[in-house]
């Protein structure tokens, strides 16, 4: 492959102060009658992170934490409200310029539901060929066909499957087709938005293994989005934890599970069911995610946090260097949070 590769020390993706605000106001007439102001939802709030070449960064969080919004902004399906995304040194401005079209070949996305992301009226070969055709990677139809067959075999299907329609495949096979489609323009970076959460566990294992094999073979960089911590642990080099649209902790994958710093990360880890039956008790987690339209003051996690004090209510925490990475928590910064007693 002849590609202009990034310098080894520069990250492939740099995201700085990325925010996205949605207008969730009622219709104009309702607002007028009920005398209500416009309402806005900050789905993503000043998120900053980097992804190095060849690594997998995972973003975890519960529903409403903004993980899918970040994914969509990274591939240009949503425009950021504020902040910048830099891909291999070049700013991502989602216009139709020649520079951007060239850049678009280098990233792709795999969606959550393989039932919704494949056009039911298209043959599988056409589905897989589309990115090549649209992005102008390949124009010769014989070469496209050869490439489609190669991709089908790469993801564990057979070349003959290309002439079938998506409904003839099971969920796991469809996700393989979606992966083949994502690979067809020869990208370096793939955003995977909950790629296995619509699949059964035994099929999930196949897809996760396939994704790791492809990463090793093709040197791919992944942004892996999931709500399932055990899946994330299996896939990621580094993990970012999201809460109400903000990153609360980023750490090396192994370290995060050994020594979680932020109280929310600890809470998430405690909530994972104990399959080994070690007798570890799941801790009762207090409360639920608050309404993102009207988030709590200061640190948004303080109403659920066992270590919160008056400063947490008042002041928004900033990044603090920790032993394992970075965390946004006053308690961690002041060193008043006792080390986690992890059974693992």
DSSP letters for 153-188: HHTT--GGGGGS-GGGS-HHHHHHHHHHHHHTT--S
In terms of Cβ atoms closer than 10 Å to its own Cβ (0-12, 13-18, 19+), residue 121 is exposed
Q: Which residue's CB is nearer to other proteins, number 144 or number 308? A: 308
Specify the DSSP element, H or E, that contains 224: strand 221-226
The answer to whether 212 contacts other proteins (rule: CB under 8 A) is: yes
The nearest distance, CB 168 to other proteins, in angstroms, is 11
Name which position in 128, 268, 308, 328 contacts other proteins (CB under 8 A). Answer: 268
Ramachandran sector of residue 83 (left: φ over 0; alpha: ψ -120 to 50; beta: rest): left
Burial (Cβ within 10 Å: 0-12, 13-18, ≥19) of residue 186:
middle
- Site membership for other proteins, residue 293 (CB under 8 A): no
And the tokens for 100? Answer: 């951007």
Range in contact with other proteins (rule: CB under 8 A) among 115-123, 133-141, 202-210, 292-300: 202-210
CB-count exposure of residue 84 (10 Å: 0-12, 13-18, 19+): middle
Q: Would you count residue 277 as binding other proteins (CB under 8 A)?
A: yes
Stretch that binds other proteins, among 16-24, 66-74, 180-188, 262-270 (CB under 8 A): 262-270
Question: Residues 227-246: x/- map of binding to other proteins (CB under 8 A)?
Answer: xxxxx-xx------------
**112 lies in the binding site for other proteins (CB under 8 A):** no
Site for other proteins in 56-95 (CB under 8 A): 62-63
The H or E element containing residue 190 is: strand 189-193
Side-chain-side CA neighbours of residue 297 (13 Å): 7
Interface with other proteins includes 24 (CB under 8 A)?
A: no
Q: How far is the CB of 191 from other proteins (least distance, A)?
A: 20
Residue with tokens 């008043």: 336
C-beta of 6 vs 247, nearer to other proteins: 247
Report the alpha-carbon distance of residue 131 to residue 186 in Å, rounded. Answer: 10
Cβ-based nearer residue to other proteins, 103 or 110: 110
Task: Measure Cα distances from 294 to 25, 43, 241, 278, 291 in Å.
Answer: 13, 11, 21, 40, 6
H-state helical runs in 184-262: 201-218, 229-235, 253-258
Per CB under 8 A, does 160 bind other proteins? no
Choose one: 77-85, 91-99, 178-186, 274-282; the region binding other proteins (CB under 8 A): 274-282
Total chain residues near other proteins (CB under 8 A): 41
Helices and strands in the chain: count of H runs, count of E runs: 12, 12
- Using the contact rule CB under 8 A, the part of the chain among 15-23, 106-114, 130-138, 194-202 near other proteins is 194-202
Cα distance between residue 170 and residue 193, in whole Å: 19
- Which of positions 2-21 make contact with other proteins (CB under 8 A)? none
Of 5 and 209, nearer to other proteins (C-beta) is: 209
46 binds other proteins (CB under 8 A): no
Which range in 51-59, 115-123, 222-230, 315-323 contacts other proteins by CB under 8 A? 222-230
Distance of CA 6 to the CA centre of its chain: 22
Least separation in angstroms between residue 116's CB and other proteins is 16
Binding site for other proteins (CB under 8 A): 62-63, 170-173, 200-206, 208-209, 212, 227-231, 233-234, 257, 267-269, 271-277, 282-285, 288-289, 344
């Amino acid at each position: 492959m002849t590609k202009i590769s990034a310098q080894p020390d520069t990250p492939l993706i740099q995201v700085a102060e990325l925010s996205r605000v949605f207008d969730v106001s009622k219709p104009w007439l309702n607002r007028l009658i009920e005398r209500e102001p416009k309402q806005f939802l900050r789905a993503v709030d000043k998120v900053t992170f980097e992804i190095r070449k060849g690594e997998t960064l995972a973003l975890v969080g519960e529903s409403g934490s903004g993980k899918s919004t970040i994914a969509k902004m990274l591939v240009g399906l949503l425009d950021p409200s504020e902040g910048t995304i830099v891909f291999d040194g070049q700013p991502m401005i989602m216009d139709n310029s020649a520079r951007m079209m060239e850049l678009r070949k280098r990233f792709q996305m795999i969606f959550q539901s393989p039932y919704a992301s494949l056009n039911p009226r298209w043959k599988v070969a056409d589905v897989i060929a589309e990115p090549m055709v649209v992005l102008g990677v390949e124009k010769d139809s014989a070469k496209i066909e050869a490439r489609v067959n190669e991709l089908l075999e790469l993801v564990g299907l057979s070349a003959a499957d290309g002439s079938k329609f998506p409904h003839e495949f099971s969920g796991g096979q469809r996700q393989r087709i979606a992966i083949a489609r994502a690979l067809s323009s020869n990208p370096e970076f793939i955003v995977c938005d909950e790629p296995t959460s619509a699949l059964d566990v035994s099929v999930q294992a196949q897809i996760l293994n396939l994704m790791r094999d492809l990463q090793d073979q093709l040197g791919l960089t992944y942004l892996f989005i999931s709500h399932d911590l055990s899946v994330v642990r299996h896939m990621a080099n580094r993990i970012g934890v999201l809460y109400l649209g903000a990153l609360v902790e980023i750490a090396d994958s192994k370290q995060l599970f050994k020594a979680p710093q932020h109280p929310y990360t600890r809470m998430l880890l405690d909530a994972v069911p104990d399959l080994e039956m070690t007798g570890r008790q799941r801790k009762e987690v207090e409360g639920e995610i608050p309404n993102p339209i009207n988030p709590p003051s200061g640190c948004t996690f303080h109403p659920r946090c066992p270590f919160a004090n008056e400063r947490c209510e008042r002041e928004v925490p900033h990044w603090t260097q920790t032993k394992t990475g970075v965390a946004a928590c006053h308690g961690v910064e002041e060193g008043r949070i006792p080390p986690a007693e992890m059974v693992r």
